[in-house]
Homo-oligomer: A and B are copies of this chain.
Amino acid sequence: MKRFCLLALFASATAVARADEGMWLFNRPPAQQIKAAYGFELTPEWLDHVQKSAVRISTGGSGSLVSADGLVMTNHHVGSDKIAELSTKERDLLKDGFHARALGEELKCPNIEMDVLWTIEDVSAKVEAAVGTGMSNAQVAAARRAKLAEIESEAKQKAGKGFKCEIVTLWQGARYHLYTYKTWDDVRLVFAPEKGIGFFGGDADNFEYPRYCLDVCFFRIYEDGKPLKAERHLEWSPDGAGDGELVFVAGHPGRTERLNTWAHLEYMRDFQYPATMRALWRREVLLATFSGRGEDNRREAEDEYFGVQNSRKARTGIYAGLLDPTFMARKFRAELELRAAVAANPEWSAQWGDGWDLVAQAKKVQREMVVRFTALGGPGMGLGGDLWAKAATIVRWAEESGKPDGARLREYRSTAKSTLERGLYSEAPIHLDLEVERMASALQNMAELLGGGDPTVVRALAGKSVQARAEELVRGTKLADIAERKRLFEGGAAAVAESKDPLIQLARLLDPENRLQRKRFEEEVDPLEKEGYSKVAAARFAKEGEGLYPDATFTLRLSYGAIKGYEQEGKPVPPFTNFAGLYERGAARGNAYPFEVPASWMKAKSKLNPATPFNFVSTNDILGGNSGSPVINAKKQVVGLIFDGNIQSLVLGIGYDETQGRAVSVDSRGLAEALLKVYDASELHAELMAGKR
């Protein structure tokens, strides 16, 4: 499924956030800026209400409570994993959609959590109090770690059942905030439209505008087996929002790297992005070819294919920014200014002056090792394919489970055992043809990156051609059988050592070299970079003060902006699309995939008002993780649903510029009308309008 998950965005490093820039903390809201720009007064009550209506979804997106009976609105593409898991051979909910007309028909989702942020406490002073004078760097880090664990553990005990507590590291360690969430895991699917309208236009229209998508689905949170009596929820706006109107987005942007140093940006531009683009182009062509061979192949590879296309398109935008001399020059100047300020202050200089060099050194080592490490699957030894992933887990667990927790690889600590087991014993279907394709691709990729004569490549191929070896590995392994995976996982080192399974043997072959690479990364890259950035961040915080928003951390943020069109290639792009445009776009592309207007919409055409707003754009500063966030007006009412950024917003993620970059939303009016007239979902429509069932 499509994921709007741009995990490496960053923007202008200039001191003061400009225009509608910023992903703001709810306990440090941009009240002054909003007042100045829009004349609107943010109140504590407003913030508290919105905060407690916003939902974080464990699958990696955002949502909002939109009724007092626990109804949660999010994107179709955020819920699509669960929708797929609830599908059966006979009932393809992704393709055909789903609609529970009564509570009893709602479908319980496996393995999902929804959280609502309840309280925030700044615990920075407590953490820093644990740091003594004269401590070494290592001692400081250890003291902080211990204190953080202590605070989190105490908070958990205090909060009790139904809550969870997390300390969020902000500004790379300049501040620590304790977040306490209400959390639920009984979540049921209420409504989803067909993917044909949820992702209308497919890859061609992805990250584009104008758009015509009903990228929505509804879940309901249950508590004690009954619909949640939500303390807060967002009302539905009867009128939507107009051109130029102030709108807010409350959601969970995943991760930004807006503080990245020049050396880090150069690394991204000259190493990371060229390599990432190559890998994505490669996978996209392989998956397209595999899919072209027949209908079964197409269905099996669909998810992965869309995911790759989505990543490719997102990264194309970011890479364009990295190659833009104007943007890069701005980043360069901003870094010079900050470093000059540090150099001019002897105390700052002594404390933080080497921050940039530490990052540069980390990137230098990474350049030396990244190709080989990538070819060997990176930290998780992820070569390709579900069966391989299970083999790698079994082989690593066999070794790690014999060590004390402190000496283990992080993801193999004893607390992680149940997570490992959940993945390992999953009953998700495994498609052998696709597995062969993935394994062949991984083996060939290894040869591409390391050369066909590399000893590791030679040993991995075991004297066979790539295709023959992939067939041998996938057709020969017994790991498609859950019982066999269980036997090996529980059998530990002895069972693994005895196994003649070809995938287990390959994992054992590659494991030692991968570990050496990982060790080097964890000793020579990661800590240097962390330490460097904590210094850079501290310097920036010292120079620019509390008026800054921190980098995104997949925690709740507030963004403000306005509904606003833009110009593209000299022509105006109006802020709203409407239903008429959907039918026109479909017809212009021959109603052929991915522009086929679904049958339900063709049938309902005469009932719909062609002028009803369907999608709109706004200047809000958002990114991946924000998918499914509510767009709300000054009265805290839902006027839209974030589902994408336009292609220019990817560049904008690097250097905020509202000239063209825009967030893309479903309009609340189009959404409501579609529920009523296309899907005949009158009871759901009524719940939204009334704010309760």
Contact = CB atoms under 8 A, between A and B. Distances in A.
Interface of A: 203-204, 266, 269-270, 274, 277-278, 280-282, 284-285, 288-289, 292-295, 312-313, 319-328, 444, 447-449, 451-453, 458, 461, 463-467, 589
A284 B466 CA distance: 23
Contacts of A292: 203-204
Nearest to A204: B292
Contacts of A313: 289
Contacts of A280: 285
A594 to B, nearest CB: 9
A327 B278 CA distance: 28
A328 B282 contact: no
Most chain B CB within a 10 A radius of its CB, from A274, A319, A461: A274
Most chain B CB within a 10 A radius of its CB, from A280, A294, A324, A466: A324
Contacts of A465: 320-321, 323-327
Contact of A467 (B270, B320, B452): B320
B285 A284 contact: yes
A270 B328 contact: no
Interface SS of chain A: helix, strand, loop or mixed?
A: helix
Task: In the A-B complex, list the 10 residue pairs whose CB atoms are closest, starting with the nearest.
Answer: A204-B292, A324-B465, A270-B451, A281-B281, A274-B448, A269-B452, A281-B285, A281-B282, A325-B463, A284-B285
Contact of A270 (B284, B453, B461): B453
Given A281-B278, A463-B326, A451 B320 contact: no
B278 A452 contact: no
A269 B451 contact: yes
A293 B312 CA distance: 16
B461 A325 contact: yes
B282 A452 contact: no
Contacts of A277: 282, 448
A328 B281 contact: no
Contacts of A294: 589
B285 A447 contact: no
A89 B453 CA distance: 53
Contacts of A327: 465
A285 B319 CA distance: 16
B444 A323 contact: yes
Contacts of A269: 447, 451-453
Given A285-B281, A467-B320, A270 B452 contact: yes
Given A281-B281, A323-B447, A465-B320, A266 B453 contact: yes
A466 B293 CA distance: 35
A278 B282 contact: yes
Contact of A325 (B289, B295, B448, B464): B464
A328 B452 contact: yes
A16 B203 CA distance: 53
Contacts of A289: 203-204, 313
A299 B366 CA distance: 44
Nearest to A265: B452
A327 B467 CA distance: 14
A436 to B, nearest CB: 10
A514 B552 CA distance: 45
Contacts of A282: 277-278, 281
Given A322-B452, A325-B461, A325-B465, 18 more contacts: A204-B289, A204-B292, A269-B453, A270-B451, A270-B452, A278-B278, A278-B281, A281-B281, A281-B285, A285-B285, A295-B589, A320-B466, A323-B447, A324-B466, A325-B463, A325-B464, A326-B464, A326-B465
A621 to B, nearest CB: 21
